[in-house]
Amino acid sequence: TTPTAEGTVPWPEETAARYRQEGLWRDLPLHAVLMESAKGREDKVALVDGDVRITFGELVDRVEAAAARLLDIGLRPDDRIVLQLPNSWQFAVLTLACFRAGIVPVMALPGHRLHEMRAVAEVAEARAVAVPERIKDFDHRRLAQQVAEEVASVEMIMISGTAQADEVSLDDLLRPSASEDSPKEKAGGIPQPDPDLVLMFLLSGGTTGMPKLIARTHNDYDYNIRECSRVSGLSEDTVYLVALPAGHNFPLGCPGLLGALFAGGTVVMLSSPHPVKALQTIQNEGVTVTAAVPAVAQRWIDYVEETADLPDISSLKVLQVGGSRFPDELAARVRPVLGCTLQQVFGMAEGLINMTRLDDPEEVITTTQGRPVSSADDIRIVDPLGQDLPDGQPGSILTRGPYTPRGYYRAPEANERSFVEGWYSSGDIVERRPDGNLVVHGRDKDIINRGGEKISAEEVESLVYRLSAIEMAAAVAMPDPSLGEGLCLYVKLREGENITLEQVRTELTDAGLAPFKLPERLEIIDEIPMTRVGKINKKALREDVRRRMEPSS
């Protein structure tokens, strides 16, 4: 029998055996894939971050040395580090060093605050938190200190920048092995991680009050990356731009920065997808492929259309777009305006990745969200009773497969709801066309998808109840011209009370909620509409806010 990490839900034995037998699971620790791609390319640039250029040879050296140092400072295999770093070479090297040592990174986002960081550190029982000193005017060191104060397991703060005496300096930890070689010698000797065990935790964009952790194994993620790389046409000629937050599944491994490195290509880290910087970087580095959410793709398209003196972006061959529904009209503008092939991606950190193929007819590329990257992915489209629907009829999508885990980490209750007899129910309403391509029509899960960042309505609502003026609250999606959706908060007040949007935002900020989850509009109403089964009628509220926002003519 295969070992199973505590708190995870394994694939059934027979299924795992079949994935092995068919060569989908290779039983390689992920760093072995990097070692293989680095072979014969020692002097080729693997990683670019501003002026920093790291060759494959240097990358392997740093990763090996850092893995040994992580163990030297007292971490052990299966320990967890909450990683909250901006897109940077440090992000890539630390992640790979964790993989090498069998230490498990928890992929937090730079936008997360105490509410999220504390929750994931607690569930993961993290021993360390890795942060930059600050990003813009936010003090991440202070945030890490608060997490360490409030979460008993956290005993180490790793700082990218100038570390203080009681902190671990990431610049020091991630330095090359050259000057002192004891760690390097030991690196070869540190044990290989078990490929069936947890590689990392991704964060779910799920619906519950707290973020859920998704344990991905070496075996499943290696396969995920391989299939995505194949479908996206990665090769050693690839220059991949990381413009979305690197801790997201999409830019990390679909095929993302890991796919590009494993293909022997080059990865360029950029801290923001702002069009001026992004397009200049595409020209400077000869970027061939990148991933964007629809809101980012729209900004790039608008910018190119509006700007006279543009950088030359003709190196860009493929623009992947996913994370939320890419409107067909915008999709149709990608090739004419940006001069590259659009690849629509409908994916999820829980596993299943769908992509249009690069040689699909333009109609498929601009109006569908593609099909599973692997023939081993199983998909069903079902009605509310769980009955399979014929092609052409929208319903709930269920999926299982070699890179879709069977449950969240340490979350039996959430698993009851989201996993049905081994099938993951993502809450998306999807139509499968007769040609196999999927079209996403909407969702029946209670989230707000704000420019690709998922916000759990329940998470926001539960914090809103800290305001004593509020008797009842409902967070709903409202239309937003640039982000697709924004967050509108409906409230019913207690007798004689009043409240402003600013007060709500201040209270939620004080509670440590990530800024991207703050409501952007407040509607105070006398009665919150309810459904017949006694739940808040969110559909009615979404229609209501849509009506209120219509320009009065």
**List of residues contacting ligand J2J (CB under 6 A):** 205, 249-250, 254, 322-325, 344-349, 353, 369, 426, 428, 440, 443, 452, 454
Instruction: Find the shortest distance in angstroms from Cβ 311 to ligand J2J.
Output: 26
Pick 369 or 374: Cβ nearer ligand J2J: 369
Instruction: Find the shortest distance in angstroms from Cβ 340 to ligand J2J.
Output: 17
Instruction: Find the shortest distance in angstroms from Cβ 178 to ligand J2J.
Output: 36
Instruction: Find the shortest distance in angstroms from Cβ 539 to ligand J2J.
Output: 17
Pick 238 or 369: Cβ nearer ligand J2J: 369
First to last CA, the chain: 68
Instruction: Find the shortest distance in angstroms from Cβ 130 to ligand J2J.
Output: 21
453-456 and 447-450: which strand pairing? antiparallel
Provide the 3-class DSSP secondary structure of residue 306.
helix
* 440 beta partners: 430
Pick 9 or 429: Cβ nearer ligand J2J: 429
Angle (deg, nearest 10), helices 56-72 and 30-38: 150
Pick 177 or 369: Cβ nearer ligand J2J: 369
Instruction: Find the shortest distance in angstroms from Cβ 110 to ligand J2J.
Output: 15
Provide the 3-class DSSP secondary structure of residue 401.
strand
Instruction: Find the shortest distance in angstroms from Cβ 344 to ligand J2J.
Output: 6
Instruction: Find the shortest distance in angstroms from Cβ 69 to ligand J2J.
Output: 31
User: How far is Cα 530 from Cα 439, in angstroms, rounded to an integer?
Assistant: 30
Helices (H), 372-475: 412-418, 457-464
* 216 beta partners: 200
Pick 60 or 198: Cβ nearer ligand J2J: 198
Instruction: Find the shortest distance in angstroms from Cβ 158 to ligand J2J.
Output: 25
Contacts of 448 (CB under 8 A, 6+ apart): 454, 455, 457, 475, 476, 477, 485, 486, 487
Task: Count CB atoms within 10 A of the CB of residue 144.
Answer: 26
Instruction: Find the shortest distance in angstroms from Cβ 73 to ligand J2J.
Output: 32
Pick 183 or 255: Cβ nearer ligand J2J: 255
Pick 128 or 439: Cβ nearer ligand J2J: 439
Instruction: Find the shortest distance in angstroms from Cβ 484 to ligand J2J.
Output: 9
CB hemisphere CA count around 203 (13 angstroms): 29
Pick 219 or 344: Cβ nearer ligand J2J: 344
* 499 beta partners: none
User: How far is Cα 212 from Cα 247, in angstroms, rounded to an integer?
Assistant: 15
Contacts of 23 (CB under 8 A, 6+ apart): none
80-83 and 134-135: which strand pairing? unpaired
Pick 177 or 399: Cβ nearer ligand J2J: 399
Task: Count CB atoms within 10 A of the CB of residue 408.
Answer: 26
CB hemisphere CA count around 304 (13 angstroms): 20
Instruction: Find the shortest distance in angstroms from Cβ 63 to ligand J2J.
Output: 23
Provide the 3-class DSSP secondary structure of residue 15.
helix
Residue with tokens 């075996």: 219
User: How far is Cα 333 from Cα 317, in angstroms, rounded to an integer?
Assistant: 15
Pick 126 or 214: Cβ nearer ligand J2J: 214
Instruction: Find the shortest distance in angstroms from Cβ 245 to ligand J2J.
Output: 10
Task: State the residue number with the nearest CB to ligand J2J.
Answer: 347
Residue with tokens 């990745």: 353
Cα 57 versus chain centre, distance: 28
Pick 160 or 229: Cβ nearer ligand J2J: 229
Token couple for 404: 């879709």
Pick 11 or 346: Cβ nearer ligand J2J: 346
φ and ψ of 112, to 5 deg: -75, 155
User: How far is Cα 38 from Cα 89, in angstroms, rounded to an integer?
Assistant: 17
Pick 80 or 454: Cβ nearer ligand J2J: 454
Contacts of 499 (CB under 8 A, 6+ apart): 467, 469, 470, 491, 493, 522, 524
Nearest to 535 by CA among 479, 457, 452, 441: 457
Provide the 3-class DSSP secondary structure of residue 487.
strand
Pick 149 or 328: Cβ nearer ligand J2J: 328
Instruction: Find the shortest distance in angstroms from Cβ 74 to ligand J2J.
Output: 33
Angle at 415 between CA 490 and CA 418, to 5 degrees: 60
- Please count the residues of the chain: 553
Nearest to 485 by CA among 303, 295, 328, 307: 295
